[in-house]
Amino acid sequence: MSAITPRERAFAEARAVLDQARTRRDRLPIHLAAEQAAVGSFRSADEIELILRRLHRTARNEQCPAPAAPAAIAA
């Protein structure tokens, strides 16, 4: 006899699996991620790599700047 998994637990376990997969994907070098994304796509790996690099650059520019050091504030 199999046990029934409560819905909340099933959702939590599925979310954990997706989070792990997303973390692995985000750690890939951009070129490798582009090659994998190009499989079955109408875009080439080079196009996808350019898109990924543009998205990374935009995200980096939109991050809040680090607070200035106290010595810089006093100057």
pLDDT value of residue 73: 58
Share of the chain above pLDDT 70, in %: 83
Give the pLDDT confidence score for residue 69 in this predicted structure.
Answer: 62
Q: What is the mean pLDDT of residues 59-69?
A: 74
Residue extents of the structural domains in the chain: 29-61
Q: Do the beta carbons of residue 74 and residue 52 sit within 8 Å?
A: no
Q: What is the pLDDT of residue 6?
A: 93
Scanning the structure block, which residue is given the tokens 């490798």?
32
- Give the pLDDT score at 61: 87
pLDDT digits (tens, 9 = 90+) for 32-59: 999 999 999 999 999 999 999 999 899 8
